[in-house]
Amino acid sequence: MTLTDIIKKLPYSEPFIFADELLYADENGITGVFTFKKELDFYKGHFKNNPVTPGVILTETMAQIGLVCLGIYLLGGDLKGDTVIAFTFADMEFLKPVYPGEKVTVSSHKIFFRFGKLKCSAVMKNEAGQEVCRGILAGMITQKL
């Protein structure tokens, strides 16, 4: 399975996919990038005349790249049709704003993966290499009941 295949297996589509490309993956972590296009709808109202990417979207971007993509990699891409991916925990620290048009890099390192639960430590950096946010994320991969 290639890094491109992992992105294709994400259970998201436009306008709610926040992963452009994966740069690296192994059993301990993953790195990927996303560019926040200026046309994204949430910029129209967050904030007036000074748009900033909402923290919840930064968290989602980190979860899609750093948690879900890593989970897909760890499972070898073996997602069945009844697979459910659930975001269960986030403890985030926001350090700098991310503006429309900015490209970010997310790096995630596995803390543990057992019984279908994945917990990671993730960092998002801007193109200048500055940390814009970091946190601990967790989620579950299970089958529909």
Per-residue pLDDT tens digits for 68-127: 999 999 988 777 667 778 999 999 999 999 999 999 999 999 999 999 899 999 999 999
Secondary structure (3-state) at 54: coil
Supply the residues annotated as catalytic. 46
Q: Which domains, ranges and CATH numbers included, belong to the chain?
A: 3-143 (3.10.129.10)
Q: Which residues contact 112 (CB under 8 A, 6 or more apart)?
A: 118, 119
Q: Tell me if the pTM is above 0.85.
A: yes
CA distances from 13 to 31, 95, 112 (A): 20, 28, 28
Distance CA 109, CA 112 (A): 9
84 neighbors 144 (Cβ within 8 angstroms): yes
User: Token pair for residue 17?
Assistant: 């996919």
- Mean pLDDT score across all residues of the chain: 94
User: Binning pLDDT at 50, 70 and 90, where does residue 1 land?
Assistant: confident
